[in-house]
Amino acid sequence: GGSAGAGGIEVVDFTTPGMSAGCGKAPDLTGTTLGYNGMTFYKKAVSFTGMGGASKMAEYLIALPANYSMAKPYKTGFEMGGYTRDAIDCIYGDCWGFATEGHTAGAIVVSLTQTNPGQLHPPQTADANNAPVQTGWELSNELEDNVAFFKAALADIEDKYCVDTKHIFAAGGSSGGDMAQYLGCWMGDQLRGVASVGGCMANTIAPVAGTSPMAAPMRGQENYANICLKT
């Protein structure tokens, strides 16, 4: 929130950090851990209300900055992988080093696994890139649940850790890049910025540049061959 500036552009103070409810609390360091590139990720589960009012649960991995202080609000970044790729894939390279860069910059980093993931990875002693998940983020049977999951994960993290609520970011690749763009549209009042790598924009009407010669699929008829043609 802020006052209107020249030309009606909103002026928001980003220099004063926003303090989440988790500031002043001892961080939650319970759960299975995963070590990667100097980071320790804690596996967490969060419940939410999904499509049709169903109670569902999904998982995220969170890594705190070195020398984390419960009194200091931290910038926080969420990463999302592509179709059939989960949080572990994202950390191990599918998300192009987002977590490593965020950790180096002193941010809280969160890697998300989409809901309804199908078969998850085998134990970590096995091939980490084997047995991928079987869904993406944004088809008709996925999107509503994944948006609800993101909101629940954000609320959970803000309650358990000290988050700078004015500097929350979301990035993704491919299907996760589409999701980042959706979140930017629907949660623009809560996210400082979003980034999409290989995510698609909506189909456009001729003769606008970038239009597809194919008609956009109807909602519920998308698949990962035509997803970038959706309206």
| pLDDT per residue of the chain (231 residues) written in tens, 0 to 9 | 445 555 667 777 888 999 999 999 999 999 999 999 999 999 999 999 999 999 999 999 999 999 999 999 999 999 999 998 999 999 999 999 999 999 999 999 999 999 977 666 555 445 544 456 888 998 888 999 999 999 999 999 999 999 999 999 999 999 999 999 999 988 988 999 999 998 876 665 555 555 666 777 777 787 777 777 665
HSE-CB for 71 with a 13 A CA cutoff: 0
Q: Radius of gyration (Cα) for the chain, nearest Å? A: 18
Q: Quote the pLDDT of residue 217.
A: 74
Provide the 3-class DSSP secondary structure of residue 12. Answer: coil
Sequence-distant (6+) residues with CB within 8 A of 38 are 103
CB 196 within 8 A of CB 80: no
Whole-structure pTM value: 0.85
